[in-house]
Amino acid sequence: MQSIGWTLAVAIVTLALAAGGFKLSQIARAQVQQQERFRVSLASVELSPLPVWIHGDLLGEVKFLSGLPDTVNTLEPNLAERLRSAFALHPWVCEVLEVRITQPATIRVQLAYREPVAVVRTARSLEPVDREGVLLPAAGFPNPEVYLTVSGVRSTPTGPAGTRWDDSAVGAAARVAEAVTPHHRTLGLTTLDVSRYRPNAAAASQIYLLTEQGTRVKWGRPDPDYPGEVSTEDKLDRLRQYVADHGSLDSPAGPYDIDVTHWQEVSIRPRQGTGPK
């Protein structure tokens, strides 16, 4: 009788353990399913709309640069900061404005993108830069011909895309290009020449703009706040007025040397030679 009772007790305990194990497995499965509700594929993260000058898979590139996994859990305590740091690594990203996580599984990232203002001609290639002289990705960069081409730069980039080009001439060109780029096509300007720019020789340091037909505009110094410098808007107004009066900077009998750096008047004379004087 004792043997039968013991066997029955063992059977009851075994059944209880089995039932408990089944219940635990149900709980574990439910917890896993619950956790899956909070998992987000990185490819489904919602971004600020990409501007026309950015091609390619920005989300995939962020994943590659940062080492983020394919999916993330929105319950992770530091996820927003982790995503902020990851997107800040991308060279097209100027600033991560906001990372918004909405439970259970929506992530929106608001970004400010860098915008090209010119392409710098080097011995090896054309390199796009933004208004601060930051090098931008050249691979897959669309339509470089629609931007001002910066000539006369003697250096090549020392850092990767997303870092500032360590050359004051590039920085100066970028500042001028930022002002001129919205108007350069209507003015017929194609090239921004910094071969005569010297940061420590302000009196003789000049930047020139050129048309495809060879008219050269003496723009002057890159910084409009320099004592005695004509304002950027006045320089642009003078060029726009000339185009309105004559049809183009090369008319009626160019190419010309046009100087917009004088306070009282615009100097125009037939151009002799091809290089800055």
Amino acid at site 85? S
Cross-sheet strand order for the sheet of 46-47: 46-47, 106-113, 93-102
Domains with residue ranges and CATH for the chain? 39-113 (3.10.20), 116-270 (no CATH)
- φ and ψ of 28, to 5 deg: -65, -40
Amino acid at site 36? E
CA-closest candidate to residue 212, choices 130, 148, 143, 276: 148
Q: What is the pLDDT of residue 7?
A: 67
Q: How many CB atoms lie under 10 A from the CB of residue 242?
A: 20
Q: What is the pLDDT of residue 228?
A: 83
Q: What is the pLDDT of residue 28?
A: 42
Cross-sheet strand order for the sheet of 256-259: 126-130, 116-121, 148-151, 189-193, 207-211, 216-220, 256-259, 267-270
Q: What is the pLDDT of residue 114?
A: 98
Q: What is the pLDDT of residue 273?
A: 65
Q: What is the pLDDT of residue 188?
A: 97
Instruction: Tell me the three-class secondary structure of 100-167, residue by residue.
Output: EEECCCEEEEEEEECCEEEEEECCCCEEEEECCCEECCCCCCCCHHHCEEEECCCCCCCCCCCCECCC
Rounded to two decimals, the pTM is 0.81
Q: Please list the pLDDT of the chain residue by residue as tens digits (277 residues).
A: 556 666 665 555 565 555 555 454 544 444 444 568 899 999 999 999 999 999 989 999 999 999 999 999 999 999 999 999 999 999 999 999 999 999 888 999 999 999 999 999 998 889 999 999 999 999 889 889 999 999 999 999 999 999 999 999 999 999 999 999 999 999 999 999 999 998 876 566 799 999 999 999 999 998 877 888 899 999 999 999 999 999 999 999 999 999 999 988 899 999 986 544 4
